Structure 1
Amino acid sequence: MLKGFYTATSGMLSMQYRQDQLTNNLANSNTPGFKADQSVTRSFPTMLMQANNAYQNPSRQVVGELPTAVYLQEHLMNAQQGDIQQTGQATDLALVQGGATDGAAVFFAVETENGIRYTRNGNFQVDLNGNLVTASGGRVLGTDGNPLQVGNESFTIQPSGIVVVDGEEIGSLEVVVADDVNDLIKEGNGYVRNDQTDMQSAYNVDTVTFSVQQYALENSNVDVTSTMNEMLQAYRLFEANQKVIQAYDQSLEKTVNEVGRIN
């Protein structure tokens, strides 16, 4: 009977984690460049049930399988390109990606207080020092590894990433590629980091093509309708496992109360 408790409890926990992940996706559905997370659920190793007289039968006749529980194994990032929306703002930049293998993605490189981070959120602005920065103050980097100084909002960034200020090329916007976005760790403010390997410059990777669109932003790739349906499904599965636990609890209560009772 306790196995039923464990199975239902693990199901509730799995659906709770999934609900949290879906809620986070929905909350960021309007965040430029946000990449939705997808959860992968796995079952614990299945137990093989055997006949009571298996000790007399060398072949040990199998009479069925008993799945014991499920758990949320991992979160996977959806690297699919988001829709491009024109904004008319010179400091807004969108990365348009092509040619990459499944799971690969390109990112802007940003210098933050915690080191180099990466983002798809191109909702930039110009600070008092003329640096192109993120909303949280991270400085956008050029291919030379230094922050891009555009001076004011009268600058142009070509599709190839070249930055032009007052008719003069001052450098190129650094764009890096992650071979597998699931190696990345999400942080706040739309940043991700890679603790496993250094990110290569996308300019040096032949299998990846990209362009930079100025006056535009990449929308989140969260499908709001699908996410809400998945949240409802997760809630119903959570509720179903909850009812199973309540049934076991009532059964155990009845068993305990009747143990040793003399009629």
Structure 2
Amino acid sequence: MNIGTIYATKGFYNEYERFEVISNNLANVSTPGFKRDIYALDKNSNPYTETDMSEGPVQHTGNELDFSIQGEGFFEMLGENGLRYTRQGRFLLNADKEIVNAAGDKLLSDRGDPIVVDGGDLSLAPDGTLMVDGKELETIAVVNFENPKMLSKEGATYYVSEGGAGERLERPEGTIVNQGYLEQSNVIVPQEMVKMMESLRTYETFQKYMNTASEMDTKAVSEVGMLR
């Protein structure tokens, strides 16, 4: 295999992976709290993926257990697999009256405990303090990390701290929590569609080069055989 074919093969697979990342972004355009992934190459042309942590638009829902974070930070969740972090703020109450997400993972307070809501009217202050029937209950944990881009993505909206993100930090200054709102995906469809078309064209170019190189190699081998 000549050097040109080697580079073309690498480019072919890189574009395939890039296309998959873009497709996943588009598939999650309606997923609350989803952050788009960016596929890129380093200075040695090695591929890597990083997550764009910019805020998505906020949609009013009116549901008292829909929360959105305005500013930096993540909700802290506890499930069977341990602590997870998310911007997806759609919650409900389980049979034990704990605030959980659709997977059953528990929303934690700033004391590290599940939040139990036993009462009627639930309201939320901008600092994350929950009140039931006008009485203070708990404060929702909103945490951040020294380098949140280094959090490992798990599924569509979960993040795991595996050390690279640095120290866990308390609620960032200026960050507020809103009730009755959900942060939407930060995917911008027209931009992703343009990137998808660019990727598809580049993919097809590499594919054509590889097919042509293969035909030339076959022809060369055939002609050498005839000369013999």
**Under TM normalisation by the shorter chain, which class is it?**
over 0.9
Residues 22 and 189 (structure 1 numbering): CA distance in 2 closer, same or farther, change over 3 Å? closer
Which blocks of at least 5 consecutive residues in structure 2 are unaligned? none
User: 1:63 — aligned with what?
Assistant: none
Matches within 5 A, 1:103-114: 105-114=72-81
3-state SS of 2:113 partner:
coil
The yes-or-no answer on 1:220 pairing with 2:185 is yes
The yes-or-no answer on 1:201 pairing with 2:170 is yes
3-state SS of 1:8 partner:
helix
The yes-or-no answer on 1:171 pairing with 2:141 is no
Checking the alignment, whether the CA contact within 8 Å between 2:129 and 2:138 is kept in structure 1 is yes
After TM superposition, the structure 1 stretch with the greater mean CA deviation from structure 2, 33-42 or 149-158, is: 149-158
Amino acid at match of 2:58: I
Residues 262 and 79 (structure 1 numbering): CA distance in 2 closer, same or farther, change over 3 Å? closer
- The alpha carbon displacement at 1:76 in A equals 1.4
- The alpha carbon displacement at 1:153 in A equals 6.4
3-state SS of 1:261 partner:
helix
User: 1:89 — aligned with what?
Assistant: 63
The yes-or-no answer on 1:32 pairing with 2:32 is yes
- The alpha carbon displacement at 1:260 in A equals 4.1
TM-score w.r.t. structure 2 length?
Answer: 0.94
User: 2:213 — aligned with what?
Assistant: 248
TM-score w.r.t. structure 1 length?
Answer: 0.82
User: 1:52 — aligned with what?
Assistant: none
Residues 242 and 149 (structure 1 numbering): CA distance in 2 closer, same or farther, change over 3 Å? same
Residues 152 and 22 (structure 1 numbering): CA distance in 2 closer, same or farther, change over 3 Å? farther
- The alpha carbon displacement at 1:157 in A equals 1.1
- The alpha carbon displacement at 1:107 in A equals 0.1
Checking the alignment, whether the CA contact within 8 Å between 1:30 and 1:220 is kept in structure 2 is yes
- CA distance in structure 2 between the aligned counterparts of 1:152 and 1:83, rounded to whole angstroms: 31
User: 1:130 — aligned with what?
Assistant: 97
Checking the alignment, whether the CA contact within 8 Å between 1:136 and 1:189 is kept in structure 2 is no
- The alpha carbon displacement at 1:159 in A equals 0.7
Residues 178 and 225 (structure 1 numbering): CA distance in 2 closer, same or farther, change over 3 Å? same
Root-mean-square deviation over aligned CA pairs? 1.6
User: 1:51 — aligned with what?
Assistant: none
Percent same amino acid among aligned pairs? 32
Checking the alignment, whether the CA contact within 8 Å between 1:126 and 1:133 is kept in structure 2 is yes
- CA distance in structure 1 between the aligned counterparts of 2:73 and 2:131, rounded to whole angstroms: 22
Q: How many residues align?
A: 226
Residues 152 and 132 (structure 1 numbering): CA distance in 2 closer, same or farther, change over 3 Å? farther
- CA distance in structure 1 between the aligned counterparts of 2:3 and 2:65, rounded to whole angstroms: 58
Checking the alignment, whether the CA contact within 8 Å between 1:126 and 1:132 is kept in structure 2 is yes
3-state SS of 2:18 partner:
helix
Q: Could you say which structure has the larger radius of gyration?
A: 1
3-state SS of 2:175 partner:
strand
Matches within 5 A, 1:39-58: 39-42=39-42, 44=44
Question: Where has structure 1 moved over 6 Å in runs of 4 or more?
Answer: none
Amino acid at match of 2:109: G
- CA distance in structure 1 between the aligned counterparts of 2:204 and 2:119, rounded to whole angstroms: 55
Amino acid at match of 1:161: G
Checking the alignment, whether the CA contact within 8 Å between 1:129 and 1:151 is kept in structure 2 is no
Residues 21 and 153 (structure 1 numbering): CA distance in 2 closer, same or farther, change over 3 Å? farther
String of CA shifts for 1:57-90, please: whole Å, max 9, x gaps: xxxxxxxxxxxxx441x11111111111100100
The yes-or-no answer on 1:155 pairing with 2:122 is yes
